[in-house]
Structure 1
Amino acid sequence: MKNNQVLIGEIKVLENGVMTVETEYSEDDFTIDWSDVKSMKTETDFIIMLSHKYRFNGTISPDPNNEDYLIIYPDQGSKMFAKSLDIVYLKSLEAGFWDRVSANIDAGFSLTKASNTKQVTVSGAVSYLYTRLNIDSYINTLYNVVQDTIATSRNNYGANIKVFFNRSWYILGASDFLKSDEQNLALRTTIQSGAGRNIVRNHKMYLVSAVGFALNTERYDHEEQVSEQSIETFGEVELNIYGIKNVRLSSKFQYFASITEENRNRVNLTLDSKFDLPKDFYIGGNITYNFDSKDDTEGAKSDYVVKSTVGWSF
């Protein structure tokens, strides 16, 4: 450490600027700000990700000739020199499948006596990360009950798969499903395929962007219930900030332009904030916004949800 203390133990994970270490002399794991680490040595192979876009498996040792640098020994290729803050992710290759999985779940509830209104929100996400593979899935539900009758509901769920190359590029596949009473939408299914690039990734934030094509299938809540399909191009930008103590901020913006329907475009926007509490609990806030320029349905062109929640990550 930069204060000259030494920790000996098992590195569980380095992620989002925080390293978790399990030692024999402590009941609880240590969580360490990665910027406080001066040097390190590993005896087993790790999944290693660097800020300048490299992803590989290997071990890490101090540089005996320069204390400001570490030496990385990849399983394949020549050794590399890097400063500690150049390393943005570590995970032991000896970890099993479930050790590579992370998840969170949160919920919110509100009650208004005057109108006998109850609102329930539930959200969750599961992610799996390996050297060149990242799979994540998510679900967001909202039920608004008035006078013991479900007045409105909104359900959104889906999954993403990213396959990474050596440096900053990756290919992606994604599926998203949305049901919105506000937009008179029985179900919108969006299947995406494209390519993306890590623009910035360090111990405080990461920024990625992607472009590609999407197949959009929709059913609206009217008598015919006919499915409609369109082909779209899309562009997206995702920003995550975690360099603020106990605070995580994330946002994702997606723009879809239809190829088969003239003058139609769609926008999806999400903003999330989380403040960490003890024992892996957190309080959070979320804003979700959807816009569709299509004007031949009875539903609204836009829909949004603003919520506050209490959650748990594991």
Structure 2
Amino acid sequence: LRQFSLRSSVSYKTDKWTADASYNIIRSSQDNVESIKRTDGLLNYRRILPKNWYLIGTIATLSNTEQLIDLRANSQLGIGKFIISSNKAYWGVKAGTNNNLEHFINETTSRNTWEAYLGTEVNFYNTGDLNLSFLYMGYSGLTDKGRYRADVNFDAKYDLPLDFFIRMGITFNYDNQPAVNASETDYILRTGIGW
């Protein structure tokens, strides 16, 4: 078994806007089994409005052999509200529209659909030794009626003495109308020790 994984993220917050980006890769291969490849990326921009409201624009990509996704490119616009917003934590809810452009490994044509989305994100950081983050995004088809997709991420990091840390996380994707012969679900469970 040979496996390579990279998980990266960066964010910046001001009083008027926030931005964050992430890029993640998994490559796994072993003898007599088809290789697993997964890559995802995300760019978020939030414009902060009065009374903890915000406008949000997101561009997200996914490539995933388990669900036979050659490329999924999402372009989202929405509005949200921070229920909690401080220098240690935030919790926001958001809703909007998503343009979902997909090309599957086993299909010759691409799908271009519109979806409504509803999501929530909780992030506890700078709270001592423990950092937690949770994201849920649910997508309901507007032009592809009856289709529902969901993305869930959970990450936890605990700081140890001497600048060491332990980290664990899970990513889960669901699609009730996947490509032909593809799985409806895909998940990743990550653990690690760092310095």
The TM-score with structure 2 as length reference comes to: 0.91
Structure 2 residue aligned with 1:266: 149
Structure 2 residue aligned with 1:304: 187
SS at match of 1:167: helix
RMSD: 2.1
Residue 203 of structure 1: how far off its partner (Å): 6.3
Pick the aligned partner of 1:180 from 64, 74, 84: 64
Residue 149 of structure 1: how far off its partner (Å): 8.2
User: What is the CA–CA distance in structure 1 between the aligned matches of 2:2 and 2:33, rounded to whole Å?
Assistant: 10
SS at match of 2:146: coil
Map 1:126-137 → 2, pairs under 5 A: 126-137=10-21
Residue 295 of structure 1: how far off its partner (Å): 4.6
Pick the aligned partner of 2:22 from 120, 133, 138: 138
Residue 188 of structure 1: how far off its partner (Å): 0.5
SS at match of 1:294: coil
The TM-score with structure 1 as length reference comes to: 0.58
Letter in 2 for 1:246: D
Count residues in correspondence: 195
Structure 1: gaps (5+ residues): 1-116
Letter in 2 for 1:189: A
Residue 310 of structure 1: how far off its partner (Å): 3.4
Structure 2: gaps (5+ residues): none
| Contact 1:141 1:154 (8 Å CA) reproduced | yes
User: What is the CA–CA distance in structure 2 between the aligned matches of 1:138 and 1:164, rounded to whole Å?
Assistant: 21
| Contact 2:124 2:133 (8 Å CA) reproduced | yes
Structure 2 residue aligned with 1:199: 83
SS at match of 2:9: strand
SS at match of 2:92: strand
Pick the aligned partner of 2:104 from 192, 206, 220: 220
Structure 2 residue aligned with 1:165: 49
Residue 264 of structure 1: how far off its partner (Å): 0.3
Provide the identity percentage: 27
User: What is the CA–CA distance in structure 2 between the aligned matches of 1:147 and 1:163, rounded to whole Å?
Assistant: 49
Distance of aligned partners of 1:296 and 1:141 in 2 relative to their CA distance in 1, 3 Å threshold: closer
Pick the aligned partner of 1:232 from 108, 112, 115: 115
CA deviations over 1:248-271 (Å, ceiling 9, x no partner): 111000000000012101000000
CA deviations over 1:208-258 (Å, ceiling 9, x no partner): 10000000000001252x211000000000112348640111100000000
Map 1:1-314 → 2, pairs under 5 A: 117-147=1-31, 151-202=35-86, 205-222=89-106, 224=108, 226-242=109-125, 245-277=128-160, 281-311=164-194
CA deviations over 1:99-149 (Å, ceiling 9, x no partner): xxxxxxxxxxxxxxxxxx122211001222222111111011111111398
Distance of aligned partners of 1:233 and 1:280 in 2 relative to their CA distance in 1, 3 Å threshold: farther
